[in-house]
Amino acid sequence: MKTKNIFKLVSVLLMLAVMISAFAACSGGDEPIDPNGEGVTKLSFKAASGYDYLKTLDGTTVTISGYMATSSPVDGSFMFLMNLPYQSCPFCVPNTSQLSNTMEIYPKKGDSFNYTTQAIQVVGTLEVSESEDKPFTDMYGYEFCCKIVDATYTIIKAEDLSKDMALWQKIANTDVVNDIYNMYDYVNFLCAWNTYYVNSYTDENGVAQPGYYLYASDAERFIYNDGAQYNYGYKEGYFDSIVAKIEAVDKTAFADLVANVRKAEALAEKALAELENGNYTKEYQYVEEFDNEDYVYTLINGEQLAAEMQDTYMEFANWLGSWEM
C-alpha cells in the first residue's frame, strides 16, 4: 500500500549525517543572538503552526531554537529543525507529506550547515508561501508553508537552556514521541481508510494492474491480520503501553499528553466501530487517477471522523510545539 508519507523513507538514506562531527556553524559566532534585539522576532514551533500569524512576519528577521534532525542533508544545503532532540525523520501530518513541528532552514548563499547534536539558535529571514494551498516543496517532496533563509546558527550553552529541558531530554530518550506519531498513523487510517490506495503495479506475470482505493475488506486485513501494516494498533494494550511509557518519565508533568493519547484511543474505537458496523457506501465509477472503473467507498460519517482526527492531532502537535528552550 502506498501513501503520501512514503517520503519519510528517504530519510533512511540520509542517516550518514550523524557521522558529521563538526560543532560550529558557518557564521562562526560564539554568542547566541538576542531574541529581544531590535528587528528580531522570536519564533516558536507552536506559533509556526499558524499560517495567518506567519504571514504577518513574511520577510522579517526571526530567531528560533531547536535541534537538527539527523536526516538533514549531508551536504549541509539545508536542515530540518525540530524542537525535539535525537530525531532521525522530520515529522509529518499523518498520511501526508506536510511537515509538522519541523522547519526547514537554509544557509546564506555559498554557505552550508555543519551537523551538530546540540541545541542551536537559528537566525534568518522568514519566507512564507503565497497561500496555505500553495506550499513550498523540497527535493524530497515534503510540503511546508514557511522556511527560514539566509540563516546562521549558534550552539546554545547548556547553562542557557530552560529548566524544563532536562525533562524534555528524558522524554526524547524514550522515543515515545515517535510512538505517538505511529499511533496517529494508525488512528488516521481508521478514520480515513477509504482515502488510502494501492498504486498501479506489475504483477508476477508481468501484467500491468491498475491501482485502486482500498475496499473495506482491505482495511480489515490491514488492521486485523497479524503482521499487517496497522495491526500494531489493534493489539490489546497498545494505548496502555504508550501511556505507561509516558508516565514512567513523569506522570504529573505529562498529564496533558496522556489525556491526548486517551482521546486518540477513544477516537480509534469509534472509527473502528464505524468500519465493523458497515457505516459506509460504495459506488462503481470511473477513477481518473488510475484510468479505471472500480468501486470507491465513502464513509457515512467520514467528515466527522476526519474533523475529530484533525482536532485531536493538532492538540498533540500544539503540545509538542509548546516546549521551548
131 CB-contact burial (10 Å; exposed 0-12 / middle 13-18 / buried 19+):
exposed
Task: Categorize the per-residue pLDDT at 5 as very low, low, confident or very high, splitting at 50, 70 and 90.
Answer: very low
Q: Is the pLDDT of residue 79 over 50?
A: yes
Q: Is the pLDDT of residue 139 over 60?
A: yes
| Pair 191, 112 in one domain | no
| Pair 183, 133 in one domain | no
| Pair 146, 170 in one domain | no
The three-state secondary structure class of 72 is coil
| pLDDT tens by residue, 203-231 | 888 999 999 999 999 999 999 999 999 99
| Pair 191, 269 in one domain | yes
Mean per-residue pLDDT over the chain, rounded? 85
Among 129, 161, 193, the domain boundary falls at 161
Question: How many separate domains does the chain show?
Answer: 2
Q: What is the mean pLDDT of residues 186-201?
A: 96
| Pair 111, 226 in one domain | no
Q: What is the mean pLDDT of residues 280-289?
A: 96
| Pair 292, 173 in one domain | yes
| Pair 207, 313 in one domain | yes
| Pair 71, 140 in one domain | yes
| Pair 174, 85 in one domain | no
Residues pairing with 286 in the sheet: 293
The CATH number given to whatever domain includes residue 121 is 2.40.50.140
The grid coordinates listed for 120 are 542551536
Strand pairing report for 120-128 and 146-155: antiparallel
Among 161, 193, 213, the domain boundary falls at 161
| Pair 60, 173 in one domain | no
Among 104, 131, 161, the domain boundary falls at 161
More confident residue, 194 or 27: 194
Which range of residues forms the domain containing residue 241? 166-321
| % of the chain beyond a pLDDT of 70 | 87
Residue 59 CA from chain centroid, whole number: 25
Residue 240: the pLDDT is 98
- Integer-rounded Cα Rg, in Å, for the chain is 21
| Pair 224, 181 in one domain | yes
CB under 8 Å to 159, separation ≥6 — which residues?
A: none
Residue 214: the pLDDT is 97
Residue 13: the pLDDT is 30
Residue 91: the pLDDT is 76
CA atoms within 13 A on the CB side of 167: 15
| Pair 293, 174 in one domain | yes
Task: Categorize the per-residue pLDDT at 129 as very low, low, confident or very high, splitting at 50, 70 and 90.
Answer: very high
- Concatenate the DSSP letters of all residues of 117-138 into one string: SS-EEEEEEEEE-SBTTB-EE-
